[in-house]
Chain A
Amino acid sequence: MNNKLKILVNTVMILIGISFLFPLYWMLNISFKSKSEVYDNPFGLPKQWVFNNYRDALEKFSFLRYLSNSIIYSVGTIVLTVFLGSMLAYCISRMNWKFKGLALSYISMGLIIPVQVVIIPLLIMTRNFGLRGSRMSLILPYSAFALSSCVLMLYAFFRSLPKELEEAACIDGCNVYQSYFRIVLPVIKPAISTQCVLIFMNTYNEFFLAFILGAEDKIRPLTVGLLNFFVSIGVSHWGQIGAAMIITSLPTILVYAIGNEQIENALTARVALK
């Protein structure tokens, strides 16, 4: 590659790389500006630093309630999906039963059915089951839709495990349940933590189901709560919008800053695993 072209390509790439960090800069920036300064000076550094936006935003925006909902949804979905999904994956890869091939194809169907397709019957079902307005009305469909990729990935993982592992447990007199929970599960910890990261990312940022099924304010997660906050204050006060965005993103940014390497590995696991 000749030198000028190389410099050009690198400059463009660095600009794109910086653009990925732009949201952070922008949110922080407007969150310290007064209502009028956002319009006069939208992207430069604040001329006058205003700290009230955070206090005002926190007063109008029930951040803690939405945050705790988001965490309940993410953790609930992770626990349910990983617990049930890993058992099914183990059962398909190891145990002897007639329909295990069928079960694997059946569960794979979840990969091509977008959740958006079944939203209308889901809404009617949550109403009929008496789940409307309860947090389970989101955790159950989240888990059901997360099962497919969880089972397929853990299935690939179980198949690569040597059977000697359980043979040893069997000789030591463990039954199949003990051997699974005490011997096998600890060995697949890396795959399970990858699954936890993936499910967390998907659930924490999920919008569609939460928007439609989370009709009551008390069960709304952050993604939808934040949108409602924007709508309720109008688009007029960007300073408060910025503050609310920073507060909302802080947990994600902290988690990402600490665990970015694990998160990257988890996100790319499906490509790396093949």
Chain B
Amino acid sequence: MGKAHIGMLTDKVINMNKFYSSKLAVFLFAFPALLLFTVFVIYPIFPEILISFQKNDGFRNMGYVGFKNYADVLQDKTFWRSNLNTVIIVFLSTFVGLPISLLFALVMDRQSEAMRRFFKFSSVLPAVLSVTVISQMWIAIYEPMWGLLNSILRALNLNNLALAWLSDSRTVVPSIAVAFLWQYLGLNALLFYTGIKAIPKTYYEAAMIDGAGFFRASLKITIPLLQDVTKYLLVLSILGCMSQFAHVRIMTGGGPGDISRTVVYQLYYVAFSTSDFGRGCAIAIIFVIECLLLTFVINKFVAQERIEF
């Protein structure tokens, strides 16, 4: 390499440094996004903490009341019921929904190309349609007199199982959970499938030589190698279910009575229907702590190391 060439290279490096170090450019590129993010995502937490210690009807602060709002919330049976409902929805979506999605993805991997195209197309459709449409459809499915579910049960001579799904306090929350988990079943399956496709075929060839069938190959190779995807879907699914609101609002309005409220629904109800913003903010703060704890637990216990192929 000649001297001239080296000189040119250093020039270039110096130029590039100047290029990337302009304070004005950094400001213009970074500031607007950080400002927007700060104002609408981070900043609101501060007034929220403040209001949670006030008696506040949404328009005025009527004095600081210490931890009274928190004490009220924690003594409220409806709040605990809403936590239980949220846990039921999280549990069903995560520990029933995700395994079905995984199985679906494993089977999809074994199908012919045409079949796979059909599955790929149909599986995302419920997630693409709006919650309003999907929830309304489930209202019709659960309808006690002529709904699809009860029609099928009656045709199978299971008359005593034909319940009023959405107005029976025993079935209402699981029924909502099923509607919710079904809507994202296909999308989650597609995400698992994308993960499966990324596994090099050589892993399976080795297993085939050892005589492993579908189940052994899935258990020993596919599922362990899907750790990253599984972790991603766990976080997504759990946080998504935690903040469940729309399906409940549309399908039952939190009813019958206050039986099917989720935490976010309870927050909405307390703040906007009873105009108690102080208590609403207390619920929000407790809720965000719950979310942070859950995220922490998932990160701590699931899939520590990254897998590289």
Contacts and interface: CB of A to CB of B under 8 A. Distances in A.
Q: What class of interface size applies to chain A in its complex with B?
A: 35 or more
B139 A271 contact: no
Nearest to A21: B122
Contacts, number: 277
Interface string B147-158: 110010000000
Interface string B277-289: 1001100100110
B29 A226 contact: no
B7 interface: no
A84 B122 CA distance: 34
A49 interface: no
Interface string B231-244: 01000000100110
Interface class of chain A by DSSP: helix
A27 B137 contact: yes
B295 interface: yes
B136 interface: yes
A245 B133 contact: yes
Nearest to A80: B36
A77 to B, nearest CB: 11
Interface string A2-34: 000000011001001111111110110010000
Contacts of B215: 1
Contacts of B62: none
Contact of A42 (B136, B151, B295): B151
Interface string B127-139: 1111111101101
A123 B280 CA distance: 12
15 contacts: A13-B119, A22-B137, A42-B140, A42-B151, A94-B20, A95-B26, A103-B30, A112-B239, A117-B284, A120-B267, A151-B33, A170-B19, A207-B130, A211-B249, A227-B132
Q: What 4 pairs between A and B have smallest CB-CB spacing?
A: A144-B40, A121-B44, A91-B29, A88-B33
Interface of A: 1, 9-10, 13, 16-24, 26-27, 30, 38-40, 42-43, 80, 84-85, 87-88, 90-92, 94-97, 103, 106-107, 109-110, 112-125, 140-141, 143-145, 147-148, 151, 163, 166-167, 170-171, 175-177, 179-180, 201, 204-205, 207-208, 211-212, 222-224, 226-227, 230, 235, 238, 241, 245, 248-249, 252-253, 256, 260, 263-264, 267-268, 270-272, 274
